[in-house]
Amino acid sequence: MSNKVIQAIYNDDDVLLHAVKKVKAEKHHIEEIFTPFPVHGLDKAMGLEHTRLAICSFIFGCVGISVAATMMYYMMIVDWPQNIGGKPSFSFIENLPTFIPIMFEMTVFFAAHLMVITFYMRSRLWPFKEAENPDVRTTDDHFLMEIALHGNEKELTALLEETGAVEVIVSEKH
């Protein structure tokens, strides 16, 4: 198995999008695409699956509302019940309207914070991680498509130049 990759650099997002469609039509596997900003339709053109982060967000929200209900029940009913403003604290159901803002806030808090942690873990972004960007120009105004080579260097180079690549580089995979 080869460790070589071919990197095609583009200077326009529309040209990149058409190039991805053409490369996928030729049955080549695109390893990665680096862009300075999100390109609408690129995920569909690459054939990427839909994300399951929304399911995680719903689960994290359920955990948040459960923690909030348990916390309020323990604090206000079990541990230290108080008669505040004529409202007896002997039943969770009787006090539910006053607990709704807290449950909402805890749901949002848990969903948001746990989603950030999940996103970083899923993307393998953690503190002190080395950058994996092969060309610094992709953080400014260029787009890079990376394809693994399997003995088809000349054919793939010609295809990428035909699709409008301004530069084609063959390098070792990091």
Sheet of 4-10: strand order equals 30-34, 143-148, 4-10, 167-172
Domain boundaries, the chain: 4-48+134-172, 53-122
The Cα–Cα gap between 1 and 26 comes to 21
* Confidence at residue 95, expressed as pLDDT on a 0 to 100 scale: 77
Mean pLDDT of 37-66: 92
- Percentage of the chain beyond pLDDT 70 is 95
133 against 109, higher pLDDT? 109
Supply the pLDDT for residue 67.
97
Q: What is the pLDDT of residue 88?
A: 65
3-state secondary structure of 112: helix
Q: What is the model's pLDDT at position 8?
A: 94
Q: CA-to-CA distance for 153 and 98, rounded, in angstroms?
A: 68
Amino acid letter, residue 84:
I
Which pLDDT does position 129 carry in this prediction? 85
Give the residue, 133 or 41, on which the prediction is more confident: 41
* Per-residue pLDDT, 133: 83
d(CA 9, CA 146): 9
State residue 50's pLDDT score: 86
- Report the topology of domain 4-48+134-172: Alpha-Beta Plaits (3.30.70)
Q: pLDDT, tens digit, for every residue of 87-123?
A: 666 777 777 888 899 999 999 999 999 999 999 998 8
pTM, rounded to two decimals: 0.70
